[in-house]
Chain A
Amino acid sequence: MPPDTLSDSPESDVTSAVTFKDTELTLGIPGEPTRSPAGKFCTKRGFIETVDLNLRTSTSKPRGKTHADEVDDKSDDVVSGACKTPASKTQVVGWPPVRSYRKKALESCKYVKVAVDGAPYLRKVDLETYNSYQELLMTLEKMFTCFKIRGNYLGESKVIDPMKEMEYVPTYEDKDGDWMLVGDVPWKMFIESCKRIRLMKSSEAVGLAPRTPPRCTTTT
């Protein structure tokens, strides 16, 4: 079971940092060339590179909240043309027949809790309001402004020294109860499987081997 405790003394980073350097984790979907952008301190790819990679390969689209019940598709369901074959995937008003009360209630249960190591408070986010990892992370950064989230600045090549600064790696617990690194899977798959998010101290992220979808093999 993943650790739930948030507080951790900073001193422990010193000892773990030694092994961290040596581990040289590689991330990403096997098959993709592991890139080592110039200027990076360690071979572990920064978060944002991972995100970029996934965005190219994924078909993540905005979740189409506009297709929700509010849209009046009834112009399609005019008297004379009742029997439609579902050529398009547009959502039809009132179908499936789930009451809006229940739909709303389930939305709020789809809110995901965000914890940050060292912070005494939790926050909640509705993943469906974001369209990409970048958007999510920017929001998280705003929520927890005193914590620097690694790799959050798009385009900047940051030199990150995990020993000096308190860097946090976004991780999440998926449907199966496993703790994963945020960014590994396509965005759409992520929002469907993410149960909660934890911004883990970089030093602790050492032990977190990247998991990939079952059909792929992982290299460490």
Chain B
Amino acid sequence: MREERTEMSKDDDRSPPLDLRGADIAESSSKTRNCVTGSGHVTGLNPMEFQAPYPDQVLENVLENVLQFLTSRRDRNAASLVCKSWCRVEALTRSELFIGNCYSVSPRRATARFSRVRAVAIKGRPRFADFNLMPPEWGAHFAPWVAALGSAYPWLEKVYLKRMSVTDEDLKHLAEYFPCFKELVLVCCDGFGTRGLAVIAKKCRQLRVLDLIESEVAESDMDWIGEFPECGMTCLESLIFDCVESPINFEALERLVIRSPSLKKLRLNRFVSIGQLYRLMVRAPQLTHLGTGSFSLAEGVAHGDQEPDYESAFAACKSLVCLSGFREITPDYLSAIYAVCANLTSLNLSYANINAEQLKTVIFHCHKLQTFWVLDSICDEGLQAAAATCKDLRELRVFPIDAREDSEGPVSDVGLRAISEGCRKLQSILYFCQHMTNAAVIAMSNNCPDLEVFRLCIMGRHRPDHVTNEPMDEGFGAIVKNCKKLTRLAVSGLLTDQAFSYIGRYGKLVRTLSVAFAGDSDLGLKYVLEGCPRLQKLEIRDSPFGDAALRSGLHHYYNMRFLWMSSCRLSPQGCREIARALPRLVVEVIRDEADVIRGECEEHIDEPFDILYMYRSLERPRDDAPNFVTILH
């Protein structure tokens, strides 16, 4: 058991081992810590709880000085397991707190253990919730966290939240509790609006970073940009709001940019026209990351009326390395960016409906490109062009312009193969397509040995290799076999248990696995649970895995962050067995909201359910679960 503890992946945020006895360690360490005050000085004993200095204290101080240098979460977790003393000191020196599942530990427990945190990252909802598989209002509220953080870490500087529900009230508290607040990053969050943003803008005088990424921002007529202080320079370095779906006060934004000499990252939303973009760019030629907004004329403006020289504005941005936006692109304007292409390491055209020809004019200049996000409107031909030029490509994402099962499918195995042949350094790929062949996937497994992330989404469910008509087993098998660094895998297409046998046999480093409409029987899931020791996150939908398969993972569930299974062959009884066998696992079954309303008020524990979502936790099951969630025991 001990060996497995030390092999926990870097995603693991705390050190509790398999049997979670570590919980007791954490408790006792916080008690003894009281006699070493926050300052860590030998002589700084708390007069209220006097204890004679113990022999380890000198060692602890040395340790403290050494452990300051440990930055990796994984290393810190390992260090904290050495002994109580190390655990204590590590807790004192950890300044970045990462909570991979907001329900795995309570705010109180986390803040009690780590007393000197300056930056906090918290993740909430499971990823499959993004695809409307679960009713909203499931949970992941930031509120209890902000309250605890407020009292524990008044010096807090950074907050990073992913898939959390954040309210305007929470944002208000953030601004109030933390006078040194510097960075707020909200990824895939919801529950707040422009009112909350306004408070942040107004009150956080030391704000350097305000990044809103793929978050849902409720509209209101609040002019939040206008709330940034009007006088003097700001310390703003990054302002990302491309996901905000309401217009902004452009004049205020322009003034803000003028007053922000440190601004390096600016990503505008689609309500900023190309004319307005120009005005901002000439004010901020020091930008390194730019999101262009709509990249078309404002409504009501006709093409051809004296237009500014967009090309020169781009040419003036000599430091630009990351370009995105193009939300409502008028392709005619693409030529404006040619001057910066040679320096670009990241290009996101995934909202730009452009064809192969239009892409080619741009991509041929992008020799240094490492990250490329694009729509499949560029077709295989566009991908071939990218493959021919972008020899340094590390990450590719090809999104579907028409995300339906029976749509045209402009990219295919041809594009995938071309990329594999041209971009040998590829590390991460997300590829949506209608048709694929095993041969192309095998080719990629051979050509791109550095692959760490392979996510292939064949949009037609249960679709076989379109040339041989065989399942896609061999393709994915080759990926897990040949790509020795693979940590994340998403499978699709027609897959039998054989594919999972390969994953279990070869996918020894796989941490995240996404499965949909795949497999034949319980064996499939068994192979994976028994074969993949590093598995942390497993999300499965619409696959024929039942209770027996679920049981086969009992030895491993405490090592995982979560398991999601929806529309599989599980029974409430089977899930309850797991809950009883593993008391530190929270086993949630989630039903359709409509069913819950129609049914009776008490727990309909034996009725079929849609989703099983289970995760380890140091706490009792949460008390904020909505009525469509039943926690089994």
Contacts and interface: CB of A to CB of B under 8 A. Distances in A.
Contact of B544 (A82, A92, A95, A98): A82
A144 to B, nearest CB: 14
Interface residues of B, number: 62
- Chain A interface size band reads 35 or more
A10 B410 CA distance: 43
Nearest to B350: A102
Contacts of A115: 302
A78 B400 contact: no
B302 A122 contact: yes
B399 A102 contact: yes
B132 A6 contact: no
A39 interface: no
Contacts of B544: 82-83
A220 interface: no
Contact of A98 (B243, B304, B403, B408): B403
Contacts of B243: 101
Contacts of A94: 128, 131-133, 541
B327 A105 contact: yes
A98 B609 CA distance: 24
A79 interface: yes
A124 B351 CA distance: 17
A80 B608 contact: yes
A91 interface: yes
Interface string A71-94: 010100111101111100101111
A162 B399 CA distance: 46
Contacts of A97: 128, 130-131, 457, 516
A169 B188 CA distance: 45
A41 to B, nearest CB: 33
A175 interface: yes
A74 B541 CA distance: 12
A196 to B, nearest CB: 9
A166 B566 CA distance: 60
B592 A72 contact: yes
Contacts of A69: 131-132
Which of B357, B375, B566, B594 has the most A CB atoms < 10 Å from its CB? B566
A5 B304 contact: yes
Interface centre among A78, A84, A95, A105 (most CB of B within 10 A): A95
Interface in A52-86: 69, 72, 74, 77-80, 82-86
B267 to A, nearest CB: 13
B542 A84 contact: yes
Contact of A122 (B300, B461, B462): B300
Interface stretch (A18-26, A106-114, A150-158, A205-213): A106-114
B273 to A, nearest CB: 12
B299 to A, nearest CB: 7
Contacts, number: 139
A108 B328 contact: yes
Interface stretch (B109-117, B553-561, B567-575): B567-575
Interface in B268-319: 270, 297, 299-304
Contact of A100 (B132, B400, B520, B609): B132
Given A72-B592, A80-B569, A122 B299 contact: yes
A83 B304 contact: no
Contact of B302 (A103, A110, A120): A120
A93 B461 CA distance: 13
B214 A124 contact: no
Contacts of B130: 97, 99-100
B18 to A, nearest CB: 30
A111 B328 CA distance: 9
B608 A86 contact: no
A192 B457 CA distance: 22
A74 B516 CA distance: 15
Contact of B542 (A5, A6, A77, A108): A77
B592 A109 contact: no
B447 interface: no
A82 B540 CA distance: 11
A83 B517 CA distance: 7
Interface string A181-206: 00000000000100100000000000
A96 interface: yes
B89 to A, nearest CB: 42
A103 B73 CA distance: 35
A84 B461 contact: yes
A177 interface: yes
Contacts of B300: 121-122
B569 A93 contact: no
A69 B403 CA distance: 11
Contact of B351 (A4, A6, A91, A109): A109
Contact of A192 (B302, B408, B432): B408
Contact of A79 (B332, B459, B569): B569
A91 B404 contact: yes
Contact of A95 (B188, B350, B461, B592): B461
A10 to B, nearest CB: 18
Given A92-B461, A99-B131, A102-B399, A108 B569 contact: no
A139 to B, nearest CB: 17
A99 B328 CA distance: 18
Contacts of A11: none
Given A96-B400, A100-B132, A78 B457 contact: no
Contacts of A106: 351, 353, 375, 401, 403
Contacts of A105: 270, 327, 351
A98 B353 contact: no
A32 interface: no
A83 B522 CA distance: 12
A176 interface: yes
Contacts of B327: 105, 108-109
B432 to A, nearest CB: 6
Nearest to B610: A74
Given A94-B128, A98-B403, A110 B353 contact: yes
A96 B608 contact: no
B351 A79 contact: no
B406 interface: yes
Given A5-B304, A176-B355, A79 B570 contact: yes
7 contacts: A79-B571, A82-B569, A83-B544, A96-B432, A106-B375, A108-B327, A195-B353
Given A109-B353, A176-B355, 6 more contacts: A74-B592, A84-B542, A92-B405, A108-B327, A110-B401, A121-B300
Interface of A: 4-6, 69, 72, 74, 77-80, 82-86, 89, 91-103, 105-106, 108-111, 115, 120-122, 124, 175-177, 192, 195
Ordered nearest first, which 8 A-B pairs have the shortest CB separation? Answer: A94-B131, A77-B567, A79-B608, A98-B403, A96-B459, A83-B544, A94-B133, A69-B132
